[in-house]
Amino acid sequence: MINNRIRIAIQKSGRLSEESFRLLQSCGIYIKPRKEQLFCHSDNFPLDLLLVRDDDIPSMVSEGTCDFGIVGTNVLQEKLLQRGNDAKNNNEIIQYLGFASCRLSIAVPKSFAYQDITSLKKCRIATSYPHLLLDFIQKNNLDMEITTLTGSVEIAPRLGIADGICDLVSTGGTLEANNLREVETVFKSQAVLIKSPKQLSEEKQKIAKLFQNRVEGSELANGSKYIMLHAPKSALSLIVTLLPGAERPTVLELQGDTTKVAIHALCRESIFWETMEKLKMAGASSILVLPVEKMMN
C-alpha cells in the first residue's frame, strides 16, 4: 500500500515541545498526544509525528526517516559542522519560527579578569557544542582548548576542569546562579522548520507544499495585526507613515463626515501603545487593533 502521509520529527519533551505542538495546532493539524507514545498521527491532516530527542532530529530528516523536523539552529548547525557541510545532503531551512530563542555564549567565572576576547588565550572551555565553538575559534583566529561535556557544563569551572564554558543562554539566570559572566556570543539560535533533501513522491510533494503554506501563513499571522482607525483627511499621509509595516492601506469614506476617512491596514509588526499614542497625536481617533489569526497570500 502506498503511504501518502508526511512525517515530522519534533522534540519529545523539552524547550521545543510545547511550541512545536502549538505550531501544528495553529496550522489546523490536530494530534492526540498519547502518553509515552513515540509515534502519533493526525486524523484531519495526512501527517505523522515522531517524538524524539532534539539531537536526533537533523539526521532523521537528512536521511529521510522524516520529511520535516522542528529543531534549534544551534543543534542543526552543530550537526552540520560535525558531518562536514555536505551540501547535497543538507536539510533545507523552510521557515524561522521565532521561538526557543537563545544564544551560545562563552562565560567565565566572575573572578576571571576578563578584558577582551584575547583574555581567553590558552583557556580551557567546556561545551556541548565543540564544532560551533571550534568554528568560532577558527574564524576569530583564537587559541583555546575545547573540553567536550554532554551536560551540566555550567559546573565545569567550579570542578576545576575548565576555565570557562560555552553554553546556551536565554535569560542568563543559570549563569548568575553559577557565578558566571557572559563575555562573548558564539552563535544566535531559534527554532526552525527543516525539510529533508530526499526526493518526495508527487503526492507527498503536494501535501508537503500544503503543510509549508500553512506554517508560513501561521508565522505571518503571528507577527501581524489589523488596525482600523478614523483620520482627518488632512493628516492621511502622515498617519499612513506611522503604521508599522503596513502595505497599501484601505481608505474608506465615512458617512456623514466629509472631513474624515477610515483607514484599515494590515501591519506586519507589533503595534505598541507608543504607536497608538503617536497616531492619536496626529489626529487619529477610534483606533482599533485586532489580532490576525490566519493569513494566505
42 versus 74: smaller Cβ distance to Zn ion: 74
- 136/293 Cα distance (integer angstroms): 40
* x-marked contacts with ligand ATP along 72-101 as a string, rule CB under 6 A: x-xx------------------------x-
**The only residue of 49, 54, 219, 239 in contact with Zn ion, by rule CB under 5 A:** 54
24 versus 102: smaller Cβ distance to ligand ATP: 102
Q: Enter the C-alpha cell of residue 236.
A: 492621511
**The only residue of 19, 48, 55, 135 in contact with Zn ion, by rule CB under 5 A:** 55
179 versus 201: smaller Cβ distance to ligand ATP: 179
Q: Enter the C-alpha cell of residue 161.
A: 576542569
SS3 category, 144: coil
Q: DSSP string spanning 160-229?
A: TS-SEEEEEESSSHHHHHTTEEEEEEEEEE-EEEEE-SSPPPHHHHHHHHHHHHHHHHHHHHHT-EEEEE
* x-marked contacts with Zn ion along 232-271 as a string, rule CB under 5 A: ----------------------------------------
52 versus 142: smaller Cβ distance to Zn ion: 52
181 versus 198: smaller Cβ distance to ligand ATP: 181
74 binds, among ligand ATP, Zn ion, none (CB under 5 to 8 A by kind): ligand ATP
Q: What residue ranges in the chain does DSSP mark as E strands?
A: 6-11, 39-41, 47-52, 68-72, 92-96, 102-109, 124-127, 145-148, 164-169, 180-189, 191-195, 225-232, 250-254, 257-267, 285-291
Binding region for ligand ATP (CB under 6 A) out of 69-77, 90-98, 142-150, 240-248:
69-77
| 15 near ligand ATP (CB under 6 A) | yes
Question: With CB under 6 A, what is the number of residues at the site for ligand ATP?
Answer: 16
